[in-house]
Structures are given as structure tokens and as C-alpha cells.
């Protein structure tokens, strides 16, 4: 494995120039490159992650475009026959002991729908088309674009057709990990109905708590439910037919579906380049936006929905703001989301947006997606604000993100009170998106 030395993180409070910030980000991406893909970090995430690869490709488009194309080519080479792109492609050179749950747990090699490599059987938000648009603009590669376009479109068909469990035209996620926001309060109501078997955590040994502070990670109760949900989907052969009758977790996530709609807009742009018809992409994008507003919008924001009960989550989380990335979002909805993002609940200002409502009684400033700040979702919000002509708010958010990285380094996530970096220290998407922010996008 590549063991290149990562440049030291900026010291807290240090004045870091844009040039030094860029060089530090480049050093992180260089150190985390592994043959044909970038790992999220060397400490905790030693494999190829799905939506990480999309965000990382945005930065690589500035730093090393050939690696950006290679990274996504490697990921989509593991696409399943039905179109799903797995949330992890396992590196065969990494020991089963170094990451849990690893390939033995997922047992994808036994599945007839698997195309290549050892993978998980679940997915993540389809941010890749957005990345490919940026890659094409900065360093066109027609051969790679044509190869990826067909696979990106196939991914969309899988999510819109096989995962339309609720029938409203939205994709359902079958596991919290598919959202990318693993332990968000957005899932609490659904997860609360799933019995906890802590004996399971004696059978399986978590890797994350051995290399990261357990106070910052999901609890054992969370993890026991995660394993139960994953095993339930695996034992059903990763089949999506009949999920409503047999699966433990079915949720329509506003963030996931907003990215799904944004991907259709991006594919419409790419279709014109490769000579395909952009109209079906635009039509699907419009339908997703309408379905999001009709199904998940309430009280001025978007909420996740339990597909089985139809209930909306009461939790106000950052995934409810991500629909700002949709260019066809109604103006009054945009106004409401911007008002929420700039309110005391999230507060775009000296610090970026946290992952959960700051005023909620169970806001947790340190525990993963239950309060900390993440650069990737703030980057999506920044794009959304610019899309809707909110230049002032976008400029404030951009500067707050860059200031956060200058003070806290290229961390996985950040304390929403102090701005201190927490989680993995040399995190690839933080470094990659810092590059994009430095260029102004």
C-alpha cells in the first residue's frame, strides 16, 4: 500500500495562505491514492467508498484529472448487473481484520447480480454525475465520458425503478449507511422500532472504535441495528422486489433523492456531449423535484419518510436542506430552506451548517452525524445557494468552510461549537472539496 507521508494539518488558529491550503490538500490526496482509487483515509476507511469517490473526483479534477477519471472508472467497474453501484468496493489486499463489516459479512461473491470484485450490496447517494460534469469541464476525456455515461444512466434507472418502493417516484434507502448520514436523527423513529440485540456486538468486533474515539462514533445499539438491517437485506439475496413485506428499514431520504434529481440534471448536460437525448433526464429530474415537494416537504423544510407507515421524521437534519441543489425547486420552497439554513437552528455564519438542528435537545456536538459539521454536505448547500442566485449566503458559507479547514485541518468532520477537527485527520473529500472551494467552483 502507498504509505506516502501526509503534510501536517494546519495548527489551530494558524493563518494559512490559500497556496499552503492547496498544497496541504494535494498532499492528502496523493497520500491516500491506492493504485486505481483514493481511500477516504488511511486510519479508518481502507477501501473504495462510493459517494466519497464522487466528491474526491471533484478535487482531483483540479489536481490530477487522470486520477479523477481512473477513480470513477474503478468504482463503476464494480457496478452490479442491475445497475447498483456498491457503497464499498473492497481492496483484496486489505485484511478482513482491518475493516468491519468486511467482505465475508456481505458475502457478495455468492450473489448472481454481482459483476466484478468483492463489494457490499447496498448503495450510496449518486453524486458521481455531478463530479463527471466538473471533470469534463476541466479535463475532457471523451472515451471515459462515453464509458461512464452509460453506467451513470444505468445507476439512475436502478434507483428510480427498483427502489421506488413507496410508489411516489422517490428512491427508498434500505439502510442508514445508504444515505451517507449513518447515525442521523433522521432515522431514529424507524430504527426505534427495530429490536436491539447487543449480543450481536459480542459476536462481531467493531473496528471503528479501536481507531477513533467511541464518544464520536455511533453507539453499540446503533451498530447492532445496522448489522441486523444489513443481514436482513443480504439474507434476502439483495433483491428489491417485495421489500415492503420483509425488510426492516425503508426510508425516503430528502438528501438522497435531491442528489438523485441533481444527477439527472447533470446527465442531461452530459447526454448532449455524447449525442444522447437529454429530454428523458430532464423529465425525470422534474418528476423527482415534484415528488420531493409533494411527499417530503412540511413546515418549511424536507423530512425523511418511513415508507411503511408514511410518517415524516420530526427531526430537522441537514439532509432536509440538500434539495437546494435542485434548480427547479419552487421559489417559495427555496426561500424557506434558506431561512432555515440561516436561522439559529443551522446558522450559516462564522461556522458552516451542522448536521442537526442546533436547538434540538439531543443535539450532540461530537457524535458523527448528530451535530458535527461535514464539508461535503456544506459543499452541496453552497452549490445550491449559487444555483438559486443566493450569492451573499453562498459567499459566507464558502468562507466559513475554508476558515474551518484553515483552523482545523482536513478532518473528516468538525466540532460545530469550537470548529475543532474530529474523526480522521487526513480525510480525502475534505481535502478535495477544499480545492474546489479555493477555485470558486
Element (H, E) at 188: helix 188-191
CATH topology of domain 18-439: Glycosyltransferase (1.50.10)
Three-class DSSP category at 266 = helix
Predicted local confidence at residue 215, as pLDDT = 62
| CB 192, CB 314: distance < 8 Å | no
Low-confidence stretches of the chain (pLDDT < 50) are 1-13, 206, 209
> Would you kindly state where each structural domain of the chain is located, as residue ranges?
18-439
pTM for the full predicted model:
0.94
Where residue 347 falls (left for φ over 0; alpha for ψ -120 to 50; beta otherwise) is left
Predicted local confidence at residue 178, as pLDDT = 98
- Ramachandran angles phi, psi of 302, nearest 5°: -100, 145
Q: What span, in angstroms and rounded, lies between the C-alpha atoms of 421 and 158?
A: 37
Nearest to 310 by CA among 252, 245, 260: 252
Crossing angle of helices 18-31 and 391-408, in 10° steps, is: 70
Predicted local confidence at residue 204, as pLDDT = 60
pLDDT tens for 339-358 read 999 999 999 999 999 999 99
Residues identified as active-site? 182, 412
Q: What span, in angstroms and rounded, lies between the C-alpha atoms of 173 and 159?
A: 9
Where residue 295 falls (left for φ over 0; alpha for ψ -120 to 50; beta otherwise) is alpha
Predicted local confidence at residue 364, as pLDDT = 97
Q: What span, in angstroms and rounded, lies between the C-alpha atoms of 64 and 147?
A: 19
Q: Which three cell numbers stand for residue 182?
A: 449513518
The per-residue DSSP string of 277-316 comes to -SHHHHHHHHHHHHHHHHHHEETTEE--EETTT-PBP---
The per-residue DSSP string of 388-399 comes to TT-HHHHHHHHH
Amino acid at each position: 500500500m502507498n504509505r506516502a507521508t501526509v503534510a501536517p494539518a494546519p495548527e489551530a488558529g494558524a493563518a494559512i495562505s490559500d497556496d499552503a491550503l492547496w498544497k496541504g490538500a494535494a498532499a492528502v490526496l496523493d497520500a491516500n491514492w491506492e493504485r486505481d482509487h483514493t481511500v477516504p483515509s488511511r486510519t479508518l476507511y481502507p477501501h473504495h467508498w462510493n459517494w466519497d469517490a464522487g466528491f474526491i473526483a471533484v478535487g482531483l479534477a483540479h489536481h490530477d484529472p487522470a486520477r479523477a477519471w481512473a477513480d470513477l472508472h474503478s468504482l463503476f467497474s464494480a457496478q452490479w448487473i442491475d445497475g447498483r453501484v456498491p457503497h464499498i468496493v473492497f481492496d483484496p489486499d486489505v485484511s478482513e481484520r482491518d475493516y468491519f463489516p468486511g467482505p465475508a459479512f456481505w458475502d457478495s461473491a455468492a450473489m448472481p447480480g454481482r459483476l466484478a470484485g468483492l463489494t457490499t450490496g447496498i448503495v450510496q447517494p449518486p453524486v458521481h454525475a455531478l463530479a463527471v460534469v466538473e471533470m469534463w469541464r476541466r479535463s475532457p476525456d471523451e472515451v471515459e465520458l462515453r464509458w461512464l455515461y452509460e453506467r451513470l444512466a444505468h445507476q439512475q434507472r436502478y434507483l428510480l425503478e427498483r427502489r421506488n418502493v413507496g410508489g411516489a417516484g422517490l428512491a427508498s434507502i434500505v439502510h442508514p449507511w445508504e444515505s451517507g448520514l449513518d447515525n442521523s436523527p433522521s432515522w431514529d423513529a424507524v430504527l426505534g422500532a427495530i429490536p436491539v440485540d447487543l449480543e450481536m456486538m459480542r459476536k462481531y468486533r467493531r473496528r471503528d472504535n479501536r481507531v477513533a474515539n467511541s464518544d464520536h462514533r455511533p453507539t453499540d445499539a446503533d451498530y447492532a441495528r445496522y448489522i441486523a438491517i444489513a443481514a436482513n437485506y443480504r439474507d434476502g439475496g439483495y433483491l428489491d422486489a417485495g421489500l415492503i413485506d420483509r425488510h426492516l428499514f425503508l426510508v425516503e431520504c430528502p438528501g438522497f433523492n435531491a442528489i438523485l434529481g441533481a444527477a439527472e440534471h447533470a446527465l442531461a448536460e452530459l447526454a448532449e456531449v455524447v449525442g444522447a437525448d437529454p429530454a428523458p433526464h430532464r423529465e425525470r429530474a422534474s418528476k423527482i423535484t415534484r415528488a420531493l415537494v409533494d411527499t417530503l416537504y412540511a413546515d418549511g423544510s424536507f423530512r425523511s419518510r418511513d415508507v411503511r407507515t408514511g410518517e415524516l421524521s420530526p427531526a430537522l437534519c441537514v439532509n432536509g436542506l440538500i434539495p437546494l441543489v435542485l434548480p427547479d425547486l419552487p421559489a417559495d420552497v427555496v426561500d424557506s430552506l434558506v431561512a432555515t439554513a440561516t436561522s439559529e437552528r443551522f446558522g450559516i455564519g462564522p461556522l458552516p451548517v451542522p448536521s442537526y438542528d442546533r436547538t434540538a435537545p439531543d443535539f450532540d456536538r461530537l457524535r458523527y452525524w448528530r451535530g458535527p459539521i461535514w464539508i461535503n454536505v456544506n459543499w452541496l448547500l453552497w452549490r445550491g445557494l449559487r444555483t438559486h442566485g443566493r450569492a451573499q449566503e453562498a459567499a459566507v458559507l464558502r468562507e466559513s468552510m475554508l476558515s474551518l479547514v484553515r483552523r482545523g485541518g482536513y478532518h473528516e468532520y468538525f466540532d460545530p461549537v469550537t470548529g475543532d477537527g474530529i474523526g480522521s485527520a487526513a480525510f480525502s473529500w475534505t481535502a478535495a472539496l477544499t480545492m474546489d472551494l479555493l477555485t470558486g467552483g
